[in-house]
Amino acid sequence: MTATPAVARCPALLVAAPASGQGKTTAVAALARLHARAGRRVSVFKVGPDFLDPLWHTLASGRTTHQLDLWIDGAEQCATRLHAAAGESDLILVEGVMGLFDGEPSAADLAARFGLPVLAVIDASAMAGTFGALVHGLRHYRPGLPWAGVLANRVAGARHADMLRDGLSDIGDWLGALPRGEAYVLPERHLGLTVADELADAPARIDAAADALARTPLGQLAPAELARRWSVDFAAPPARPAVPPLLAGRTVAVARDAACCFLYPANLATLQALGARLVFFSPLADAALPACDAVWLPGGYPELHAERLAANHSLRASLAAHVAAGRPVWAECGGLMLLFDSLTLADGSAHAMWGLLPGAVAMQRRLAGLGPQRLLLDGRELRGHSFHFARAVSPLAPVARTEPSHGSGHGEAVYRRGAIAASFFHPSFASSPEATAALFLPRAS
Q: Do 289 and 158 share a structural domain?
A: no
Q: What pLDDT is attached to residue 235?
A: 94
User: 28 in helix, strand or coil?
Assistant: helix
pLDDT band, very low/low/confident/very high, at 189 (cuts 50, 70, 90): very low
Q: What pLDDT is attached to residue 257?
A: 94
Last residue of a domain, one of 235, 264, 287: 235
Q: Which residue type occupies 68?
A: L
Q: Do 277 and 225 share a structural domain?
A: no
Euclidean distance between CA atoms 17 and 26, whole angstroms: 12
Euclidean distance between CA atoms 97 and 14, whole angstroms: 10
Question: What is the secondary structure of 113-154 as a DSSP string?
Answer: HHTPPEEEEEE-TT-STHHHHHHHHHHHSSTT--EEEEEEEE
Q: Do 265 and 117 share a structural domain?
A: no
Query: Of 389, 252, 253, 407, nearest to 333 (Cα)?
Result: 389
Report angle CA 121, 92, 232 to the nearest 5 degrees: 100
Question: Is residue 377 situated within a structural domain?
Answer: yes
* pTM of the full structure: 0.92
Q: What pLDDT is attached to residue 102?
A: 94
Last residue of a domain, one of 235, 260, 280: 235
Mean pLDDT of the 101-130 span: 96
Q: What pLDDT is attached to residue 407?
A: 67
Question: What is the secondary structure of 339-369 as a DSSP string?
Answer: HEEEEE-TTS-EEE---SEEEEEEE-SS-SE
58-81 pLDDT tens trace? 999 999 999 999 999 899 999 999
- 417's CB contacts (< 8 A; 6+ apart) are 356, 357, 358, 396
Q: Give me the residues paired with residue 382 across strands.
A: 375
Tell me the range of 32-36, 364-368, 407-411 where mean pLDDT is highest: 32-36
Q: Do 414 and 287 share a structural domain?
A: yes
Q: Above pLDDT 70, what percent of the chain? A: 93
Q: What pLDDT is attached to residue 321?
A: 98
pLDDT band, very low/low/confident/very high, at 445 (cuts 50, 70, 90): low
User: 105 in helix, strand or coil?
Assistant: coil
Euclidean distance between CA atoms 235 and 306, whole angstroms: 47
Contact 116, 14 (CB under 8 A): yes
Q: Do 65 and 17 share a structural domain?
A: yes
Can the peptide bond before residue 105 be classed as cis, meaning omega within 30 degrees of 0? yes
Query: Of 14, 60, 15, nearest to 36 (Cα)?
Result: 60
Question: Is residue 246 situated within a structural domain?
Answer: no
Euclidean distance between CA atoms 405 and 14, whole angstroms: 24
- 172's CB contacts (< 8 A; 6+ apart) are 149
For the ranges 6-10, 258-262, 274-278, the lowest mean pLDDT is seen at 258-262
Q: Do 403 and 282 share a structural domain?
A: yes
Q: Do 265 and 137 share a structural domain?
A: no
Q: What pLDDT is attached to residue 405?
A: 85
Which 3-state string (H, E, C) describes 172-191? HHEEEEEECCHHHCCCEECC
Q: Do 267 and 229 share a structural domain?
A: no
336-346 pLDDT tens trace? 999 999 999 98
Last residue of a domain, one of 235, 262, 293: 235
H or E element, residue 253: strand 251-255
How many domains is the chain built from? 2
98-109 pLDDT tens trace? 999 998 899 999
Q: Catalytic amino acids?
A: 333
Question: Is residue 242 situated within a structural domain?
Answer: no
Question: Is residue 407 situated within a structural domain?
Answer: yes
The CATH number of residue 333's host domain is 3.40.50.880
Mean pLDDT of the 318-341 span: 96
Q: What pLDDT is attached to residue 188?
A: 53
220-275 pLDDT tens trace? 999 999 999 999 999 988 888 888 999 999 999 999 999 998 899 999 999 999 99
pLDDT band, very low/low/confident/very high, at 425 (cuts 50, 70, 90): very high
pLDDT band, very low/low/confident/very high, at 49 (cuts 50, 70, 90): confident
Q: Do 195 and 258 share a structural domain?
A: no
Q: Do 147 and 257 share a structural domain?
A: no
Q: Do 177 and 255 share a structural domain?
A: no
pLDDT band, very low/low/confident/very high, at 43 (cuts 50, 70, 90): very high
User: For residue 65, how many other CB atoms are within 10 A of its CB?
Assistant: 24
Question: Is residue 350 situated within a structural domain?
Answer: yes
Q: What pLDDT is attached to residue 192?
A: 52
Mean pLDDT of the 320-344 span: 96
Cα distance between the two ends of the chain: 47
- φ/ψ (deg, to 5) at 16: -125, -175
pLDDT band, very low/low/confident/very high, at 389 (cuts 50, 70, 90): confident
Angle between helices 202-213 and 53-61 (to 10 degrees): 70
pLDDT above 50 for 138:
yes
pLDDT band, very low/low/confident/very high, at 197 (cuts 50, 70, 90): low
The CATH number of residue 90's host domain is 3.40.50.300
Who has greater pLDDT, 301 or 91?
91
Range of the domain at 267: 251-439
- The torsion angle over the Cα atoms of residues 156, 159, 160 and 164, rounded to 10 degrees, is 150
Q: Do 45 and 165 share a structural domain?
A: yes
Question: Is residue 445 situated within a structural domain?
Answer: no
Q: How many CA atoms lie within 13 A of 365 on its CB side?
A: 2
Query: Of 247, 266, 274, 268, nearest to 256 (Cα)?
Result: 268
Query: Of 43, 149, 153, 150, nearest to 94 (Cα)?
Result: 43
